[in-house]
Structures are given as C-alpha cells and as structure tokens.
C-alpha cells in the first residue's frame, strides 16, 4: 500500500515529503511526481510494501480531467484470485479537518469518478465488470445499506469511498474487480464534477490489490 508513514520513519519522512512538495512549486504535476517518488521510497522502507501495478498523478478535484492507465498483468505481479481496485490517494500532511467530510456516516461530501476497466484482447477493448461501494446509512439505526451496483444501475460512475486516514495520506477506493486472465488491460478514469474541498490537495491513482478492510 502506498503510504507515507511518519510513525515508522520519523522526522526523515516529513523532511523528504516537504522537499518533494517544494520541488517546482509552480508546476503541480512535477511536484506530485516528486512526491510519489518519495512515497515509493518510504513504502519500500516500511518492511511491508504493497507495490501497485500502476500509479499516476491525477487531479480528482476538477471536472474535465481524464487519464488512461495501461496495466500489464503477469503471474509475477498479480494473482487472479485476488480482488483489485482503482485506488485514490490524497496527500494531507497538515491533516486538513475538512477531509473528515469524506469519512463521516453518512458522508457530508461525496466524490464520484467515471471509471472503466478494459481487457485488451487481440487489439479490442473488452469491458471488465467493476463495482463500487456506494451505500446509504441510517443514523437512527446505525445500519448500512448497499446501493444498487454499477451494473444494476447501468452506470460507469463510481462512488469513491474513504477507507482510512493514515499518517499523511487519505486512502480511498473507487471500483473493485478481478482480472479474468493475465494479459494487457487499460483503466480509464475521468472526473465528473468539481470538488472544491479537494482543490488544493495533491492526489493520485493506483491500480493495486484491494485494501485489507480490517483483516
């Protein structure tokens, strides 16, 4: 799991992250690329890194952003028995309290993305079935109810669910799916609305094994 851990790596992590964020301050894309390099280093030092199949900087806060992520799936980097996700990470070293709005029950702020996963077979893109984790929450009873799946509502718009706020990074996931077989895949992600709450928050996407969800 891509993570900046201040508890495991102490002050060195904060110094490295601050250096990364200080690189090319007039160019957010370059600054975030530098930050990702630091976070990969930190993950490798933590002892239990989960290496994503792909990682790309991506601004989830502004409508009209899109990216295509090529992914090569092999027995060396993936297991067909595992569930994979398109993860969304937010860099939040100052612990901006407004981001709690993404994690309340029910959420006071919801983030949605258009997410599609394709298996490339003989040059043709074949859609892979994906699901999100959208839900309703009843405050009085404290119960969760899953909303209709993306396939049931015939939509490619996924709810991005907050999973955890750890150290300096907010961890979220959009869709989960399984690779049907080894080979070439493509993940297409597009923003569908402005989210003012996140305008100043660097963000990136991963294609990786699903979060453990407390296991």
Strands 203-209 and 169-177 come out as unpaired
Residue-wise pLDDT for 70-121, tens only, equals 999 999 999 999 999 999 999 988 888 888 888 877 778 889 999 999 999 9
- Does 169 have pLDDT greater than 80? yes
Domains and CATH numbers, the chain: 1-49 (no CATH), 52-209 (2.60.120)
Predicted TM-score of the model (pTM): 0.75
**Confidence bin at 35 (pLDDT 50/70/90):** low
- Distances from the Cα of 102 to the Cα of 62, 143, 203, angstroms: 16, 18, 14
Q: What is the CA radius of gyration of the chain?
A: 17
Name the 3-class secondary structure at 99.
helix
């Amino acid at each position: 799991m891509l993570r900046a851990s201040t508890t495991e790596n102490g002050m060195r992590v904060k110094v490295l992250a601050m250096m990364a964020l200080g690189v090319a301050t007039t160019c957010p894309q370059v600054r975030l690329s530098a930050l990702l390099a630091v976070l990969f280093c930190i993950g490798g030092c933590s002892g239990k890194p989960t290496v994503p199949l792909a990682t790309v900087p991506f601004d989830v806060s502004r409508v009209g952003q899109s990216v295509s992520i090529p992914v090569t799936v092999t027995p060396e980097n993936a297991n067909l028995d595992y569930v994979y996700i398109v993860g969304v990470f937010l860099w939040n070293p100052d612990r901006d309290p407004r981001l709690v709005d993404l994690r309340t029950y029910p959420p006071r702020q919801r983030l949605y993305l258009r997410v599609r996963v394709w298996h490339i077979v003989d040059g043709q893109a074949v859609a892979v079935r994906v699901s999100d984790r959208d839900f309703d929450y009843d405050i009085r009873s404290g119960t969760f109810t899953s909303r209709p799946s993306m396939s049931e509502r015939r939509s490619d718009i996924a709810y991005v669910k907050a999973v955890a706020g750890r150290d300096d990074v907010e961890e979220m996931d959009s869709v989960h799916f399984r690779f049907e077989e080894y080979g070439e895949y493509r993940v297409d992600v597009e923003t569908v609305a402005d989210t003012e709450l996140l305008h100043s928050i660097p963000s990136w996407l991963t294609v990786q094994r699903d979060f453990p969800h407390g296991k």
